[in-house]
Amino acid sequence: MAIKINLKKKNKTKDGFVGFSFTTFFWGLFVPVLRKDNKTFLKHFFIWLATFGLLVFIARFPYDSIDFDKFPSVRDYVISLFDVKYKYIVLAILSFFLLLLILCFIVWIFVAKNYNKNYTNKLLRQGYMPSEDDSYSLALLKEYGHLEYTEDELKDNDKMEQYKNIVDTAKKDEKKKFYMFLMYFIIFFLFIAFIFYSVNTDIGDETYLEYLLHLEKYGHKKKGFLGFSWTAFFFNFWVPIFRADFKWFLIFISPFIFGALGANLDLDFDNNFIALIFILPALVSKFVFPFIYNKFYTKDLLKQGYLPPKDDDYSNAILKGTGYLEYTDEDLLDEEKMERYKVIIEEYNNERKKDMHTIIIVFSLIGVLIAFFYFMASYS
């Protein structure tokens, strides 16, 4: 995604990069690994631990194992929340995580802004330089301040005009990337707004104490999920990380690793066939996996022995009505239970229809935004 330039040192050739590193922002510590930049990898690893690593730790911490009797002040504070509406507590927690996420974004924007500059400067210090006849690399290195213009170049109007045309073309391409980057954040915050709205309208007015009693009654140890995974659509491989699902983390991220490796093999991506081979798996990870991930994740939990409690009609009705579990003879003989199941399944199917309408709207919105930003980039 960055502007690539060619650098040589005797018989060795390496790629330098200038401008904002979009790959570093989205893939973090994977980028220096692919560039064999071990020292920066360690720096990025510790930055990741201090940002997203901390976020994962807070989200996955086993709070249920804490003995609050050893912390009376914390216990008293939790008790004071029992009469508060549960949705307000959820909104407060979401706001806290959103703030942490924004701080993580800010840190990684700063890292991505400086990484290509530092990496290319390091190569230049090691003696890697562009060829004298490589006007493209020379123009960009001098425009971005890595090298200084010579007196001969400043006096050569044709050369300076050539450099200007190269820089203008490169910056136009960078502007397109910026519009796509902006689109990502717009969609992300629209999704966050949708989550806040859903929490506010769907949870209801039960208090925190009522919610805790509900959980204790059903005794869930792990949550299963059905339907389209919005979180996987927007956050991709981060979702199996939060669910401690290592197998699907590898499945989600492998297409992007494959694409990143292809990008570093100096292949001819102007060839549509080669570009399709490396881009298609990433598109599958982004747009296909969210449709199937929840299904496979829940099936894996069922295979591991996680089952809904017998008195949890809602979970049993949906899992049996959608074929994840079979109806027992006792279920089939209990007409009242089967009628309750029927009503629950009808409500579930109606919710899935609403989800499908939302998916169509979101995908249409993404298409409109892509077309709009592409037009803006082409027009500018």
Average pLDDT over residues 120-148: 88
Pair type for strands 3-9 and 12-18: antiparallel
**Could you give the CA distance from residue 107 to residue 111 in angstroms, rounded to a whole number?**
6
CB 68 within 8 A of CB 74: yes
What is the per-residue pLDDT across 207-261, written as a single tens digit (0 to 9) for each?
655 555 444 444 444 566 777 787 777 777 778 877 777 788 888 888 777 776 6
Given a contact cutoff of 8 angstroms between Cβ atoms, the answer to whether 225 and 294 are in contact is: yes
The DSSP symbol for 68 reads G
Q: Encode pLDDT of 54-85 as tens digits.
A: 877 776 666 666 666 677 777 677 667 767 77
- Of 62-66, 126-130, 357-361, which range is least confident? 62-66
Backbone angles phi, psi at 100, to 5 degrees: -65, -40
pTM of the full structure: 0.59
Contact 338, 331 (CB under 8 A): yes
Sorted by where each begins, the domain ranges of the chain are 307-380
CA atoms of 180 and 176, how far apart (whole Å) = 6
User: Which region holds residue 257: left if phi is over 0, alpha if psi is between -120 and 50, else beta?
Assistant: alpha
Query: What are the phi and psi torsion angles at 352 (to 5°)?
Result: -65, -35
Exposed/middle/buried for residue 86 (C-beta within 10 Å: 0-12, 13-18, 19+): buried
